[in-house]
């Protein structure tokens, strides 16, 4: 599918990690870079947060107010989207690219005109609003007037959607040094844990 924009949320204080987790080395690039590489080159990308180096083109924007949370980030990103379909992704989830494509295809192929989104569901049964495909118009209609500190789950609460179960290993978010080591071991199984980030 080509008529898709990915909104990649790159904000947050990384308080659990202790440093900028998105620029940590992973698979010959960075955590954010590995995610970006896995998205189709035909997709437009809107990255929300402070700009980081990337090997592909993205439009960068800051949420208003800065550090206003994921819902504010989605609101900032959706203002720049012109495609009908939007995939919302957390920038610290390096292995979700193939699932992003599947979710977008599922929503794009549906004959149910009322279906506004398709999201990932973890093996624990929880739906993930930060790995989900939505209709652009549906997001805009569902966003509240004030988005600061809002929960991204509000979109799923307000929009008719269904979910696809995704393995926990693919949903890994690099929010701690231990999670980064897990990601590195997946990318390079022969790599011994370094104990460093």
The predicted model scores a pTM of 0.92
pLDDT tens-digit readout, 174-183? 999 999 999 9
- d(Cα 148, Cα 35) in Å, to the nearest integer? 26
The predicted pLDDT at position 170 comes to: 97
Tokens standing for 113?
């005109």
The predicted pLDDT at position 60 comes to: 97
| pLDDT band with cut points at 50, 70 and 90 for residue 137 | very high
- d(Cα 25, Cα 41) in Å, to the nearest integer? 22
Max CA pair span of the chain: 50
The predicted pLDDT at position 197 comes to: 45
Within 10 Å of residue 95's Cβ, how many Cβ atoms?
21
Q: In sequence order, what are the beta bridge partners of 162?
A: 118
The owner of tokens 């600061």 is: 148
Q: What percent of the chain has pLDDT over 70?
A: 93
Among 90, 168, 167, CA closest to 132: 90
CA 127 to chain centre: 14
- d(Cα 170, Cα 130) in Å, to the nearest integer? 13
- d(Cα 34, Cα 116) in Å, to the nearest integer? 28
4-187 classified as CATH 3.40.50.1820: no
């Amino acid at each position: 599918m080509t008529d898709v924009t990915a909104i990649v949320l790159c904000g947050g204080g990384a308080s659990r990690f202790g440093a900028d987790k998105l620029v940590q080395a992973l698979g010959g690039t960075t955590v954010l870079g590995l995610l970006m590489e896995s998205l189709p080159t035909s997709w437009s990308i809107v990255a929300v947060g402070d700009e980081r180096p990337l090997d592909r083109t993205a439009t960068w924007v800051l949420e208003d107010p800065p550090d206003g949370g994921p819902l504010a980030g989605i609101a900032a990103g959706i203002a720049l989207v012109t495609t009908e379909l939007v995939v919302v992704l957390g920038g610290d989830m390096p292995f979700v690219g193939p699932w992003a494509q599947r979710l977008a295809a599922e929503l794009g192929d549906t004959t149910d005109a009322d279906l506004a989104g398709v999201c990932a569901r973890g093996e624990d049964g929880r739906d993930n609003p930060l790995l989900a495909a939505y209709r652009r118009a549906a997001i805009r209609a569902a966003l509240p007037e004030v988005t600061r500190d809002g929960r991204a789950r509000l979109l799923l609460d307000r929009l008719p959607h269904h979910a696809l179960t995704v393995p926990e290993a693919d949903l890994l978010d690099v929010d701690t040094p231990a999670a980064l080591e897990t990601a590195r071991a997946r990318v390079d199984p022969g790599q011994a844990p370094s104990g460093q980030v």
